[in-house]
Amino acid sequence: MTKAVLGIIGGSGIYDLPGLENVREERVHSPWGEPSGALRIGDIAGLPVVFLARHDKGHRLSPSDINYRANIDALKRAGVTDLVSLSACGSFREDMPPGTFVLVDQFVDRTHRRESSFFGKGLVAHVSMAHPVSPRLRDRIAAAAVAEGIEPKIGGTYICMEGPQFSTYAESMTYKQLGYSVIGMTNMPEAKLAREAEICYATVAMVTDFDCWHPEHDAVTVADIVKVLLGNADLAKRLVARLARDFPREHEACPIGSDRALDNALITQPEARDPELIRKLDAVAGRVLGKR
């Protein structure tokens, strides 16, 4: 059995993780560049936990400037088996008002400035993204939320826009009419890269606003968002503490195989593979490339 290591990516408003014990900060070198910041590595109730502030301390990085590949690679090198993304978002649904925690099960990627794969020329791989969220991990998050008195909405589609600007009214109305639940700027390509790295992934989408489709919220501002953000962040930290306390100490195999996503994904023949790319993939794909 593989030891479970819980990874937490803190989004807007979450730059630290209270309750983390025996903490050390580690700057992990990644061949994919610089991660957002140092990893905070420790434990909660004896469970190894690795925390990364997606935007770095002080919110230094915009969504488009985050090195998503380096972040996921660094978390993989730290041994993370299960990854929870805490993410602020806007809502397209009246039944998901500000303050709601949504455990999404689907993503739509509308980003265009970001590297979205570890693979490419010299080693091509195609992983399945039909079901991008690991259901067992999501179920454990839901149970932890309920135990803390948080009633999450289960299921929904998160559309990831490029940003950093908020939506136009026309965009917001289009996404609402398409039936999407929430909108954010960071979960893609994060979820895709986690799948390529064979890390179980789930999102807690924390609603801060109604985006600009809502007649009473037609101009989203940072000031409005921050008010809700702080309350959401406190609840999220409680949720994570409960999740860690109740989390199994041995990694549970993902029922949809997200932790073995590379089993049948590599298509480039061994003799045609680029040795330099293989070297960079030592953590992400070491299991199938014979490096680990």
pLDDT digit string (tens) for 204-245? 999 999 999 988 766 666 777 777 888 888 999 999 999 999
Task: Report the pLDDT value the prediction gives residue 220, as an integer from 0 to 100.
Answer: 61
pLDDT above 60 for 292 = no
Question: Mean pLDDT over all residues of the chain?
Answer: 95
Is 87 annotated in a binding site? The answer is yes
Is 134 annotated in a binding site? The answer is no
Task: Report the pLDDT value the prediction gives residue 18, as an integer from 0 to 100.
Answer: 87
Task: Report the pLDDT value the prediction gives residue 137, as an integer from 0 to 100.
Answer: 98
Is 2 annotated in a binding site? The answer is no
Mean pLDDT of 81-91: 97
Yes or no: say if 61 and 43 are a contact pair by the CB < 8 Å rule: no
Is 210 annotated in a binding site? The answer is yes
- List the domain boundaries for the chain: 6-289
List pLDDT tens digits, range 259-288: 999 999 999 999 999 999 999 999 999 999
Which residue in this structure is represented by tokens 């680029």? 274
User: What tokens were used for 281?
Assistant: 């993939």
Pick 19 or 106 by higher pLDDT.
106
Is 88 annotated in a binding site? The answer is yes
Is 54 annotated in a binding site? The answer is yes
Where in the sequence numbering do the catalytic residues fall?
A: 209, 211
pLDDT interval class at 44 (50, 70, 90): very high
pLDDT > 70: percent of the chain: 97
pLDDT above 90 for 173 = yes
Mean pLDDT of 48-59: 97
Mean pLDDT of 184-196: 98
Is 223 annotated in a binding site? The answer is no
Pick 233 or 82 by higher pLDDT.
82
User: What tokens were used for 150?
Assistant: 């948080």
List pLDDT tens digits, range 112-151: 999 999 999 999 999 999 999 999 999 999 999 999 999 9
pLDDT above 60 for 70 = yes
Q: DSSP labels for the chain?
A: -PBP-EEEEE-TT----TT-EEEEEE---BTTB--SS-EEEEEETTEEEEEEETTTTTT---GGG--HHHHHHHHHHTT--EEEEEEEEEES-TTS-TT-EEE--EEEEE--SS---S-BTTB-B----SS-S-HHHHHHHHHHHHHTT--PEE--EEEEE--SSPPPHHHHHHHHHTT--EEESSHHHHHHHHHHTT-EEEEEEEEEE-TTTSTT--S--HHHHHHHHHHHHHHHHHHHHHHHHHS-SBPPPPTT-GGGTTTTTB-S-GGG--HHHHHHTTTTSHHHHT--
Task: Report the pLDDT value the prediction gives residue 1, as an integer from 0 to 100.
Answer: 73
> The CATH number of 6-289 is which of 3.40.50.1370, 3.40.50.2000, 3.40.50.1580, 3.40.50.620?
3.40.50.1580
Task: Report the pLDDT value the prediction gives residue 219, as an integer from 0 to 100.
Answer: 63
Is 185 annotated in a binding site? The answer is yes
pTM for this entry: 0.96
Mean pLDDT of 149-176: 96
Yes or no: say if 141 and 87 are a contact pair by the CB < 8 Å rule: no
Which residue in this structure is represented by tokens 């041995």? 250
